[in-house]
C-alpha cells in the first residue's frame, strides 16, 4: 500500500462500512487498545475529518482511507500528521487546513508542506492538462496513478520522478521531461496504454528509459510497450544525444521511433508521417519515394523532412535514416 510522508503513530483509521457525508463526530466509535477507530460507509461522497481537541481519546494524528469508491472530497484538519488514501477512483479533491504542518493542498492536489513533493493527484480530477507548481522537486511513487489528464506541464525545478508515478493513466498521450530530471524513472509509464509522445530535454544525461515502462521494457521493441496498446511511441531527444539513444536501444520493429528534437513541430503534425495514419513506417518511405519520382497522385503533407524548404533526396536520406534505426534487418530499406 502507498504511504505518504512522515511515518507516525496511527491513532485513527477510516474504513469503508452509512453516511453520504461522513463526519467523524456522527459515526459510531469503537475503542481498541486505547485508540480510536472510525468507520464510514463505502458509499460516502464526502469525508470531514474533525479537529483534534484536548481529550487524548479523540486525538487524531493519522488518517487512512481505502476502498471508498464513491468518495469525491476529503477535508483534513491541521493536526493530522500522516495520510494514506488508496482505492478511491471517484476522488476529485483533497482539502488540507492551511495550518497543517505536514501537508498542503494546491488546486485539490496533495503535496508535502513545502509543495516540493507531489503525494497524490486525485484519480477523478477532471482536467486535460495537469499543471504542477514551480518549486516541485519530486513526483512521488504512484502519485498520479490512474489519473485522467492527457498531458502534464512539469516545472524546471523537477529532479525526480519516482516509480509507478503515472501508472495506469490510460488518458496520458504526451509528456515533456524537463532537463532537470536526471534520476532514473523506474516503471513511471507502466500501463499507460495511449501514450504516444515523450520528449526528453536533457542533452547531458540519458534517463533509463528501459525502466520507465515496466519490467519488460527491454523487450518492448519486439512486443511493443509493456502494458501499452499504442502502435507506436515517438521519443524526441536533443539532437546531440540522439546517437546515444539509438546506439543504446536497438529495435527490430517500429514500436518506438527516436526523433531529433529539432524535428518536433508546433502544429501537431507528426514528422515523416506522410500518409497521416498516426505511425511512421515503410509506407511513408515509399510515399516519399513516389513523390520524388513524380509517381504520387496524393497531395502529401510534410515531405520536406529536413525543413530546408525543398523536397529532395536529402529528405529521403533523413527519412531512411530514421526508419532504418527501427528496421535494422529489413531488406527493403
- Assess whether 148 and 260 both reside in one domain: yes
Tell me: the pLDDT tens digits for 270-305? 888 888 888 888 889 998 988 888 866 566 778 888
Q: Could you tell me the residue range of the domain that residue 145 belongs to?
A: 127-264
4 falls in which pLDDT band (50, 70, 90)?
very low
Is residue 283 within a helix (H) or strand (E), and if so which, with residue range? helix 282-292
Tell me: the pLDDT tens digits for 108-151? 999 999 999 999 999 999 999 999 999 999 999 999 999 999 99
CB 77 within 8 A of CB 100: yes
Our count of domains for the chain comes to 3
What is the CATH classification number for the domain harbouring 238? 3.80.10.10
Residue 195 placed within a domain:
yes
Q: Which of 65, 100, 135 delimits the end of a domain?
A: 100
Amino acid at each position: 500500500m502507498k504511504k505518504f510522508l512522515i511515518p507516525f503513530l496511527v491513532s485513527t483509521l477510516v474504513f469503508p462500512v452509512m453516511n453520504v457525508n461522513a463526519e467523524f463526530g456522527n459515526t459510531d466509535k469503537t475503542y481498541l487498545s486505547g485508540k480510536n477507530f472510525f468507520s464510514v460507509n463505502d458509499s460516502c461522497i464526502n469525508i470531514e475529518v474533525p479537529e483534534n481537541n484536548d481529550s487524548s481519546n479523540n486525538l487524531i494524528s493519522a488518517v487512512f482511507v481505502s476502498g471508498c469508491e464513491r468518495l469525491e472530497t476529503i477535508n483534513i484538519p491541521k493536526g493530522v500528521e500522516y495520510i494514506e488514501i488508496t482505492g478511491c477512483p471517484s476522488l476529485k479533491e483533497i482539502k488540507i487546513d492551511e495550518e497543517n504542518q505536514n501537508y498542503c493542498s494546491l488546486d485539490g492536489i496533495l503535496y508535502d508542506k513545502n509543495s516540493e513533493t507531489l503525494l497524490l493527484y486525485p484519480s477523478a480530477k477532471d482536467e486535460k492538462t495537469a499543471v504542477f507548481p514551480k518549486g516541485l522537486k519530486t513526483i512521488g511513487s504512484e502519485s498520479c496513478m490512474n489519473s485522467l489528464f492527457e498531458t502534464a506541464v512539469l516545472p524546471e525545478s523537477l529532479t525526480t520522478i519516482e516509480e509507478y508515478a503515472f501508472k495506469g493513466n490510460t488518458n496520458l498521450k504526451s509528456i515533456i521531461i524537463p532537463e532537470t530530471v536526471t534520476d532514473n524513472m523506474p516503471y513511471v509509464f507502466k500501463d499507460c496504454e495511449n501514450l504516444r509522445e515523450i520528449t526528453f530535454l536533457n542533452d547531458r544525461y540519458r534517463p533509463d528509459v528501459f525502466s520507465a515502462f515496466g519490467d519488460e521494457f527491454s523487450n518492448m521493441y519486439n512486443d511493443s510497450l509493456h502494458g501499452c496498446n499504442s502502435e507506436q511511441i515517438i521519443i524526441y531527444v536533443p539532437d546531440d544525444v540522439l546517437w546515444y539513444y539509438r546506439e543504446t536501444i536497438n529495435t527490430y520493429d517500429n514500436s518506438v521511433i527516436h526523433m531529433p528534437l529539432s524535428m518536433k513541430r508546433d502544429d501537431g503534425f507528426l514528422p515523416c508521417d506522410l500518409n497521416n495514419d498516426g505511425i511512421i513506417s515503410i509506407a511513408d518511405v515509399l510515399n516519399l519515394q513516389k513523390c520524388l519520382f513524380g509517381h504520387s497522385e496524393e497531395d502529401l503533407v510534410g515531405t520536406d523532412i529536413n525543413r530546408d524548404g525543398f523536397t529532395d533526396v536529402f529528405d529521403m536520406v533523413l527519412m531512411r535514416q530514421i526508419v532504418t534505426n527501427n528496421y535494422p534487418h529489413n531488406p527493403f530499406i
